[in-house]
C-alpha cells in the first residue's frame, strides 16, 4: 500500500470514529464509510458512504454536508499531514448493487434447479 493508500485508510478510520463518537444526529442512521479517494497532492478527498436504511441516504448526505467543516476540523487535529484535504461526501450504492447481484444469482440458481427437475421428469 502506497502513501496515498495509507492516508486514505487513516482518513476513513478517523472520519468513521468522528461520525460514531462525535456526531449525535438521528438523520444519519447507520452510516458506513465505503472508501476514501484522495488526490495525489492531498488537497481533496472523496468520502464514499452508504446508509442503512437506504431511504435515509438523502438526509444523511445533507447532514454530512452541513457537518463537513466540523468533521474536517476534528480530522485535522487527529491526522498529522502537511495539507488537510477538502472533504466531499459522496453517496455510494455499491452495497445495494452487490445485494442486487447476489439476489439475481440466487434467482438464476433457483430457476436452473427447477428447469433441471422439470427436464428429468420428462
Each residue's pLDDT tens digit, 32-58 = 999 999 999 999 999 999 988 888 889
Q: Bigger pLDDT: 102 or 68?
A: 68
d(CA 84, CA 77): 10
Do 71 and 112 fall into the same domain? no
Q: Quote the pLDDT of residue 120.
A: 67
Do 39 and 99 belong to one domain? no
User: Nearest Cα to 46, choosing from 18, 22, 15, 74?
Assistant: 15
HSE, side-chain direction, 13 A CA sphere, residue 76: 13
Judgement on whether residues 105 and 67 belong to the same structural domain of the protein: no
Asked if 11 and 50 sit in the same domain, the reply is yes
Range of the domain at 36: 3-91
Contacts of 51 by beta carbon, 8 Å cutoff, 6+ apart: 28, 29, 30, 31, 32, 57, 60, 91
More confident: 101 or 115: 101
Contact of 71 with 15, CB cutoff 8 Å: yes
Could you give the CA distance from residue 46 to residue 29 in angstroms, rounded to a whole number?
Answer: 20
Number of domains the chain contains: 2
pLDDT tier at 99, thresholds 50, 70, 90: confident
Residues 103 and 72 in one domain: no
Assessment of whether the complete model's pTM goes beyond 0.85:
no
Amino acid at each position: 500500500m502506497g502513501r496515498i493508500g495509507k492516508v486514505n485508510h487513516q482518513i476513513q478510520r478517523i472520519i468513521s470514529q468522528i461520525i460514531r463518537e462525535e456526531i449525535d444526529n438521528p438523520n444519519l442512521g447507520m452510516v458506513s464509510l465505503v472508501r476514501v479517494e484522495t488526490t495525489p497532492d492531498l488537497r481533496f478527498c472523496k468520502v464514499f458512504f452508504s446508509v442503512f436504511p437506504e431511504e435515509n441516504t438523502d438526509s444523511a448526505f445533507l447532514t454530512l454536508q452541513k457537518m463537513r467543516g466540523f468533521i474536517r476540523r476534528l480530522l485535522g487535529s487527529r491526522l498529522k499531514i502537511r495539507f488537510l484535504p477538502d472533504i466531499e461526501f459522496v453517496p455510494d450504492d455499491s452495497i445495494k448493487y452487490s445485494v442486487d447481484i447476489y439476489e439475481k444469482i440466487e434467482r438464476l440458481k433457483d430457476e436452473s434447479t427447477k428447469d433441471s427437475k422439470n427436464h428429468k421428469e420428462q
